[in-house]
Structure 1
Amino acid sequence: MLKTGLRRYINNFKGFTREVWILAAITFINRAGTMVLPFLSKYLKENLHFTYSQVGWIMVSFGLGSMLGSWLGGKLSDKIGFYKIMIFSLFTSGLMLFFLQYITTFWGLCMGMFAVMMVADMFRPAMFVSLNTYAKPENRTRALTLVRLAVNLGLTAGPALGGLIIMGLGYKGLFWVDAATCMIAITIFAVLIKEKKSLKNEAHHAALAAPVASVFKDKIFWIFLFVCFVTAILFFQLFTTLPLYHHEQFGLTEFQSGLLLSLNGVLIFLFEMPIVSTLERKKVPKLKIITWGSLLMGISFFTLLLNSWAGILIFGMFFITFGEMFIFPFSNSFALSRAPKGHEGRYMALFTMSFSLAHIASSKTGMDVISHFGYQTNWFLMGTLGLIAVLCCLWLQKLCTVKSKKALV
């Protein structure tokens, strides 16, 4: 029985191209070193002694830089190709992260975080477009899931290792490791993967020149982006308000908080690929799956209202993690499926920008709500946002059904 289950699990990883596996590998290396983000709010609050409001504004700068970088990355991926953007983004952001550790003033960190994230998040839309090029059409969603799995495997090791580095070397050690892994990852990419020539051929330019309806007139896509925005607000609480809550409400150390965050990565490693493969095989509509995920995310924050027992943090982590598994692989795939040929970059730019905007709203809103009304009010607000996302998903399903019926007439 165990042998059969293991064989089935391994079968979920078959059929990927060499390039997809290399992309997954460099993503793992990069994310294993991304230890700054889960501890950034704690670093700003406890080491640099900023107020909750100042921490929120620095996170706003983080998100604004991310938004601009996402837009530039998508735009330039359509113009000059994803390959050059990916190499420039990771290598340069690695250098910038190294110097960021020496900035300790409020305005300096606002500008520094904006600049770092502007360059770093040019990578995301370019990476999504690269998967559209290197992955086979029949397993594109699974390829996106594989890269997400690499992200979460990296994040599984990252927070726990980050906690140990803080205890041994202090927060500055995190910046060194993050900078080094960015540059190592993209060097491996440049050596092992060559730019795909098809991106520069006449067919590609013809696709770019062909008249297509503006993305700004795609009503379904914009409602979908709102759902992505709302669910990302909930997800980013993992890295902004929740680490503070772990310490202030239950007295958890950085290492204990890191282990709890690592549970997210372990669950995704064990269950996400089998779940995605099963749902794809059964041809369950993507929007229906995203609806389930939104509901689970909302429930995760309602569970945190029970704040007299630290074990509730584990239950909350289970709900938000399974919600994440249902939402993110299929939202990536849905966004790519809406994009006309040759215009994937601008669609994926808007898609990634919704996450950047969510980072701004998540950190600033969460910190301000906690500062004025406390953690319980913030958890109730986040749970309610999850229910709003569910209603929007149901609306989307109805719109898509009506559109399909009209297409058949």
Structure 2
Amino acid sequence: MLKTAFSRYINNYRGFSREIWILTLITFINRAGTMVLPFLSKYLKEDLSFSYEQVGWIMVCFGSGSMLGSWLGGKLSDKIGFYKIMVFSLLTSGLLLYAVQYVRTFWGLCFAMFFIMTVADMFRPAMFVSLGTYAKPENRTRALTLVRLAVNLGFTTGPALGGLIIMNLGYSGLFWVDGTSCIVSILIFTVLVKERKVPADLAVNNAENEIPASVFKDKIFWIFLFICFVTAMLFFQLFTTLPLYHNEKFGLSELQSGLLLSLNGLIIFFLEMPIVSASQRKGIDKIKIILWGCVLMSISFYVLMINIWAGMLVVSILFITFGEMFIFPFSNSFALSRAPRGHEGRYMALFTMSFSLAHIASSKTGLEVIANFGYQANWFVMGTFGILSVAGCIWLQKLVRQEQS
């Protein structure tokens, strides 16, 4: 019985091309190496002695650069190909990370962070297009899930490695290791993976589905982007307001908060791929799965309003984790399948930009609500945002059915 269950679990990871496994490996190396990010505000405040306001502005430049980079990466992927963009982005951002440790003025860092993130986040939409290219049509959603697992695993190990590096080498060591991880990962990619054209089967039949030639005229896609923005904004509360709440309301230590977040990562690592595989075998509609994910994400914040028992933190994490597993892999897949031929990069650019914008909005909105009205009000606001995403999914389902009829 146990052997059969294990064999079924392993089968979820079969059928991927060699290129997909290499993309997964370099994504893990790159994400694990991105250990500057969790310590960036700490570095700016403690090592460079900037005020909270200055740190805030530098982080705004960081987020703005991420948005511009996502758009440029997508647009240029359509123009000159995803392969060249991926190589340029990781190689150049690696070299820039070596240099940024020597920039120590406020305005210098505002410009440096904006520029680095513009270059670094050109990689993301290009990487999404590459997955569509190197994965077999029937494996695309699972391939996107595999890379998401690599990102999660990288983010889990990165901060721990970063802490060790700071203890032994100081903050400058972070920049050297992060820069090197970018360069090593892209060298592995260029040696082992050869450039390939976007396959014809990725193209959507525009005449049959009446998808507009311009992404800006695609009403369905913009409703979908709104859903992505809202759900990402809710998800990023995990890294902004929730750790503060753990400590201020229930007195949890950093270790205990970390264990709660690790529970999120562990559940995703073990269950996301089987969930995606099962839904594909049963042919469940992607938008329907995303809708249920939005419901779970919304509930995860409403349960936090029951603040008389610390166990509700675990319940909330379980709801938000399953919501995340239902939303994000299928969102990636829907965005890629929606793009007409020759527009894949533009579509994936806007998709990744919705996450960059959510990252900026999530902490700003959450902290402002908490400062003025308290934590309970923030959980109600976030849960209600989740209900808006549910309504968006219902509207999206209706429009897609009309388009296909």
For each residue in 1:65-100, what CA deviation from the matched residue of structure 2 results, as whole angstroms up to 9, or x when unmatched?
A: 111101110111111111111011112222223343
Q: Does 1:264 align with 2:238?
A: no
Over 3 Å counting, the alpha-carbon distance change for 1:183 and 1:377 in structure 2 is farther
Is the partner of 1:37 in helix, strand or coil?
A: helix
Residue 371 of structure 2 is aligned to residue 342 of structure 1? no
Separation in 2, partners of 1:102, 1:144: 36
Residue number in structure 2 paired with 1:288: 288
Q: Is residue 41–residue 240 contact of structure 1 (8 Å, CA) maintained in 2?
A: no
Within 5 A, what are the aligned runs for 1:138-149?
138-149=138-149
Q: Tell me, in whole angstroms, the C-alpha distance in 2 between the residues paired with 1:260 and 1:110.
A: 33
Cα-Cα RMSD: 2.7
Mark the CA change 1:101 to 1:301 in structure 2 (over 3 Å): closer, same or farther.
farther
Aligned pair in 2 of structure 1 residues 165, 131: CA closer, same or farther (>3 Å)? Answer: same
Letter in 2 for 1:267: I
Q: What is the CA–CA distance in structure 2 between the aligned matches of 1:4 and 1:145, rounded to whole Å?
A: 23
| Greater shift in the superposed pair: 318-327 or 119-128 | 318-327
Does the Cα contact within 8 Å between 2:132 and 2:198 map onto a contact in 1? no
* 1:257–1:281 distance in 2 versus 1, CA, 3 Å: same
Task: Name the CA distance, whole Å, in 1 between partners of 2:164 and 2:258.
Answer: 9
Give the whole-Å Cα distance in 2 for the aligned partners of 1:148 and 1:380.
29
Q: Which residue is 1:226 aligned to?
A: 226
Structure 1, 3-12 or 52-61: larger mean CA deviation: 52-61
Residue 11 of structure 2: aligned partner: 11
CA contact (8 A) 1:59 1:359 kept: no
Query: Are 1:123 and 2:127 counterparts?
Result: no
CA 17–265 in structure 1, closer or farther in 2 if over 3 Å, else same: same
CA distance in 2, matches of 1:276, 1:128: 17
* Displacement of 1:105: 4.8
Please tell me whether residue 133 in structure 1 is matched to residue 133 in structure 2: yes
Task: Indicate whether 1:157 and 2:157 are aligned.
Answer: yes
Q: Bigger shift: 93-102 or 50-59?
A: 50-59
Distance 1:28 1:76 in 2: 24
Normalised by the length of structure 2, the TM-score is 0.89
C-alpha deviation, 1:141, in angstroms: 0.6
Of stretches 1-10 and 158-167 in structure 1, the one that deviates more from structure 2 is 158-167
Whichever residue aligns with residue 36 of structure 2, its letter is V
Contact 1:159–1:258 at 8 Å: present in 2 too? no
Quote the Cα distance in structure 1 between the aligned partners of 2:331 and 2:352.
Answer: 11
TM-score where L is the length of structure 1:
0.88
Work out the CA distance in 2 between the residues paired with 1:55 and 1:331: 32
Give the C-alpha shift of residue 307 in structure 1: 4.3
Matched residue SS, 1:304: helix
Residue in structure 1 matched with residue 193 of structure 2 by the alignment: 193
> Compared with structure 1, are the counterparts of its residues 200 and 279 closer, same or farther at alpha carbon in structure 2 (3 Å cutoff)?
closer
After TM superposition, the structure 1 = structure 2 runs for residues 346-365 of structure 1, keeping only pairs within 5 Å, are 346-365=346-365
SS in 2 for 1:238: helix
TM-aligned CA deviation for residue 310 of structure 1: 4.4
**What corresponds to 1:29 in structure 2?**
29
Please name the residue that 1:181 is paired with: 181
Q: Would the aligned equivalents of 1:96 and 1:116 in 2 still touch at CA under 8 Å?
A: yes
Is 1:238 the counterpart of 2:238 in the alignment?
A: yes
For residues 310 and 260 of structure 1, what CA distance do their matches in structure 2 show? 12
**Contact kept in structure 2, 1:163 and 1:258, CA below 8 Å:** no
Could you tell me how far apart the structure 2 residues matched to 1:315 and 1:106 are? 42
Q: In the superposition, relative to structure 1, how do residues 281 and 340 fare at CA in structure 2: closer, same or farther (>3 Å)?
A: same
Which letter maps to 1:142? R
Change (3 A) 1:378 1:57: farther
The residue matched to 2:239 in structure 1 has which SS? Answer: coil
The Cα of 1:149 is off from its aligned counterpart by 1.1
Asked if 1 retains the 8 angstrom alpha-carbon contact of 2:142 and 2:273, the reply is: yes
Q: Which residue of 2 aligns with 1:383?
A: 383
1:68 aligns with 2:48: no
- Which residue pairs with 1:86 in the alignment? 86
Maintained 8 Å contact 1:233/1:358 = yes
Which residue is equivalent to 2:215? 215
Q: CA deviation at 1:391?
A: 0.9
Matches of 1:96 and 1:259, distance apart in 2:
33
Partner of 2:325: 325
8 Å Cα contact 2:212-2:218 kept in structure 1: no
Secondary structure at the counterpart of residue 237 of structure 1: helix
Q: Distance in 2 between matches of 1:47 and 1:365?
A: 27
Matched-pair identity in %: 74
Flag structure 1 segments of 5+ consecutive residues without an equivalent.
none
Q: Residues 329-358 of structure 1, C-alpha deviation per residue, up to 9 Å, x if partnerless?
A: 101110111111122111111111111111
**d(CA) in 2 for partners of 1:291, 1:284:** 12
Question: Structure 1 254/271 Cα, relative in aligned 2: closer, same or farther at 3 Å?
Answer: same
What is the CA–CA distance in structure 2 between the aligned matches of 1:369 and 1:329, rounded to whole Å? 30
Q: CA deviation at 1:56?
A: 4.1
How far the C-alpha of 1:324 sits from its partner, in A, is: 1.1
> 1:62, 1:360 within 8 Å by CA — same for their partners in 2?
no
Distance 1:70 1:366, change over 3 A: same
**Gap change, CA 1:282 and 1:63, over 3 Å in 2:** same
Show CA shifts across 1:243-279 (max 9, x none): 4444444555555444433322211110000000001
> 1:302, CA displacement in angstroms?
2.4
Q: For residues 136 and 5 of structure 1, what CA distance do their matches in structure 2 show?
A: 25
Indicate how the Cα distance of structure 1 residues 43 and 368 shifts in structure 2: closer, same or farther if over 3 A, else same. Answer: farther
Mean alpha-carbon deviation: is it higher for 241-250 or for 314-323? Answer: 241-250
Query: In the alignment, is the contact (CA less than 8 A) between 2:133 and 2:199 conserved in 1?
Result: no
1:259 and 1:174 map into 2 onto residues whose CA distance is 23
Distance in 2 (CA, whole Å) between partners of 1:212 and 1:170 is 52
The residue identity in structure 2 corresponding to 1:78 is: D
**Partner residue in 2 for 1:302:** 302
Residue segments in structure 2 that go unaligned for 5+ positions in a row:
none
Give the direction of change, closer, same or farther, for the CA distance of 1:96–1:369 in structure 2 (3 Å limit): farther
